[in-house]
Structure 1
Amino acid sequence: MSGALSGGGPVVVGYRDETSGAALQWGAAEAGRRGVPLRVIHAYCPDPISPLAWGVPLPIDDARDFGAMMRANARSILEDALERVRTRWPELPLSSALVSVSPSASLVESSRHAGLVVVGRAAERSMAHGSTALTVAAHSQAPLVMVPAVAGEHVSPVAPDDDHRQLGAGKVVVGVDGSPECAGALECAFVQAAARRVPLLVVHATWWRPVSGQDPVTLAFDVSGGERGRQDFLGLGHWMARYPDVKLSCALARLPVGDALVEISRGAELLVVGTRGHGGFSDLLLGSVSRDVLVHATCPVAVVRRVPSAGLEDLDVESPAREQLTVS
């Protein structure tokens, strides 16, 4: 199976709390659009970090009951999430898992059988708040989509009234550089633009300091009219032929790549980027562009790796750390 958001496996959503509400809704809508099941996973820590509470040892009975209390609270959070899905998407096939391992570990494991993994990002944007998305994006065998809880402002060297900030509004935006690693991102972008019936904007960014007064982002060329050299350089020809109904435009950005994609994708339906893992140790690392957009983008971000998913069957993993909740 390819790395695009088009596989037949379930959509897996990592649900933390109400800050993951946007991710839950996005994942449910995507599962409904694709006609696949939705699986919601909530991870919790069953044990106290320390046997001390404010310097006072916990009573033995309280320490013994702490894990049960945490499990009950986690179960309540998960059931609330499931009820939200049932209310809005009553026909959507739905399953869930309550796990007592780290969120990143549970989602990476689940990605082996998923068509897509969806996570949220809290409003406070930092490497710490985006750590789950960064870890899962680096290790996941399925594409990852990060959905921010609240769209915010990203400080950049570009003036706030520049017209390019509206280029991606209402579109699917994909960043390309002409390398083979872009193939999966391009496939994902065309699939999503076609499914959503919205235009696709292809962004190629190259950083040099623009001349004073020069627009840092230019709608530089139209690839639809036989510009074969540009089509071949950006890897668009095959996908244009396969998705002729997708309205396509391209932008050349004279900005650092991460800044360009964050700025141009404001208001976009989805921003798609690839990542350069090639196997072995390099698979443990995300490129700087992927990290930048996962932390700073104000729209949903898809990170597509060139790694096939292990299978299409729904998750049914039984282990002491995993509780399967039955849903109707």
Structure 2
Amino acid sequence: MHTDPAVVVGVDGSAQSACAVDWAAADAARRRRPLRIVHASLWPVLHAPLGLPMPLGYERAMREMAGDIAREAVTRATRIAPSLDVSTDMPVQQAAAALLDASRHADLVVVGNRGLGGFTGLLIGSVGVALATHAVSPVVVVRPGRSPGDRRAGQVVVGMDGSPDAERALQLALEQASVRGSGLTAVRACRRPGDGLDGDAFAASIAGWAAKYPDVEISQAVVPGRAAAVLVERSAGAELLVVGSRGRGGFTGLLLGSVSQAAIHHAACPVAVVR
């Protein structure tokens, strides 16, 4: 039995959550983690506040639908990685709350960028902000696109600004690059000369981690411009974009304002958010 924390993926039957399952299964297999598939729903208690009885057959139909969604996700995951250790969970809970609870013991929480049912607007409104802001584990947002096994993909890209969250983002980015056999590009955006890290500090912040991942070829890029535009541009052709949830300089308020919205909505690759 696995003792490692699981990669958790939220599913709702949408095409976006199917892409999230693909990404999560491939990641769990690469890093030898178990996969936990979570389908959360409040349907069993929808009638309770009004004191109304459950319509005849409604509960059975809803349970069957939830079971179908979970089984389809398991089938999809094992198609990606046949030997994967997969479990399912169908809590009677609001989706964000269920994933936040799961994040306390998770290695990663993976979600699609949009969904339906309990996951509608997961990374558009308050539910998504709650998950990205409060999840204990890193959160990965997957957009439909390239297959997780497509080796045409390029490097892992990480946004750096010298903040503690950026340091944790760098660690995750290096781990992901290592298991993928890809390189890593550390990017610092600056709107004006002298913004954020100076060149020596930027290099020093990377050098300490580089020694721990000698198999990863690391490049550094100081790019003029707004952080959102820089990150979106650098995501083109990347395997993964990794950012801290909060930062300083060009990455301040990454998950609270326009920068976060740009990364999540417009990045051309999956986005990992690290607190």
TM-score bin (small chain):
0.7 to 0.9
Deviation for aligned residue 1:175: 0.4
Aligned residue in 2 for 1:178: 162
Report the residue type matching 1:179 in the other structure: S
SS in structure 1 of the partner of residue 90 of structure 2 = strand
| CA RMSD, Structure 1 to Structure 2 (Å) | 3.0
Given that 1:146 and 1:300 are in contact with CA atoms closer than 8 Å, whether structure 2 keeps it comes out as yes
Deviation for aligned residue 1:193: 1.2
Aligned residue in 2 for 1:93: 85
- The alignment-based identity, stated in percent, is 39
Q: TM-score, normalised by structure 2?
A: 0.80
The one of 181, 194, 203 equivalent to 1:231 is: 203
SS in structure 2 of the partner of residue 11 of structure 1 = strand
1:253/1:70 CA distance change after superposition, 3 Å: same
Per-residue CA shift, 1:247-272, capped at 9, x if unaligned?
A: 12222222211121011111210000
Distance across 2 between alignment mates of 1:97 and 1:123: 18
For the pair 1:135 / 2:130, whether they are aligned, the reply is yes
Residue segments in structure 1 that go unaligned for 5+ positions in a row: 1-6, 52-59, 152-168, 210-226, 278-284, 306-328
Deviation for aligned residue 1:135: 2.5
Deviation for aligned residue 1:150: 4.1
Given that 1:290 and 1:303 are in contact with CA atoms closer than 8 Å, whether structure 2 keeps it comes out as no
- Relative to its length, the structure with more helix (as a share) is 2
Given that 2:140 and 2:271 are in contact with CA atoms closer than 8 Å, whether structure 1 keeps it comes out as yes
Per-residue CA shift, 1:156-198, capped at 9, x if unaligned?
A: xxxxxxxxxxxxx601000011223311011111111111111
Matches within 5 A, 1:305-320: 305=275
Deviation for aligned residue 1:108: 0.4
1:88/1:265 CA distance change after superposition, 3 Å: closer
Given that 1:42 and 1:97 are in contact with CA atoms closer than 8 Å, whether structure 2 keeps it comes out as yes
SS in structure 2 of the partner of residue 99 of structure 1 = coil
Aligned residue in 2 for 1:13: 9
Deviation for aligned residue 1:228: 4.5
1:176/1:97 CA distance change after superposition, 3 Å: same
The total of aligned residue pairs comes to 247
Deviation for aligned residue 1:70: 1.8
Distance across 1 between alignment mates of 2:88 and 2:202: 46
Report the residue type matching 2:235 in the other structure: S
Residue segments in structure 2 that go unaligned for 5+ positions in a row: 147-152, 194-198, 248-253
The one of 171, 180, 203 equivalent to 1:187 is: 171
For the pair 1:80 / 2:50, whether they are aligned, the reply is no
Per-residue CA shift, 1:2-41, capped at 9, x if unaligned?
A: xxxxx94110110111421111011011111111111000
Aligned residue in 2 for 1:34: 31
SS in structure 2 of the partner of residue 36 of structure 1 = coil
Matches within 5 A, 1:249-268: 249-268=219-238
The structure number with the bigger radius of gyration is: 1
